[in-house]
């Protein structure tokens, strides 16, 4: 399953991407789906099995522009976890 981390800032999105890659999580920048209804246009995509580690990285950063995690569902994307 795919998870997207959505941010309101492009710079914070790319900083988070670099941080989770440094933590050993394979990830990439992708376009934010319209269903998110928030964000800067890009999100960080990674596999759901890395979600606990990604949350740890995020908690250490305390990023105010974080909008939430999205995951793919049967009808599209929906928020899995929001701050």
Residue 63 lies in a domain: yes
Q: pLDDT grade, residue 13 (50/70/90)? A: very high
Residue 9 lies in a domain: yes
CATH number for the domain that contains residue 33 = 3.30.70
83 has pLDDT over 60: no
Enclosing domain of residue 25: 2-70
Q: How many domains does the chain have?
A: 1
pLDDT of residue 77: 62
Which three-class secondary structure state does DSSP give residue 12? helix
Q: pLDDT grade, residue 59 (50/70/90)? A: very high
CA atoms of 26 and 46, how far apart (whole Å): 6
Nearest one of 70, 38, 48 to 80, comparing CA atoms: 70
């Amino acid at each position: 399953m795919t998870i997207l981390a959505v941010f309101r800032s492009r710079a914070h999105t790319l900083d988070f991407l670099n941080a989770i890659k440094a933590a050993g999580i394979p990830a990439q920048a992708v376009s934010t789906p319209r269903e998110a209804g928030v964000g800067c246009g890009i999100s960080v995509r990674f596999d759901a099995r890395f979600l606990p580690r990604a949350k740890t990285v995020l908690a250490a950063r305390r990023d105010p522009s974080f909008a939430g995690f999205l995951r793919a569902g049967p009808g599209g994307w929906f928020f899995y976890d929001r701050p």
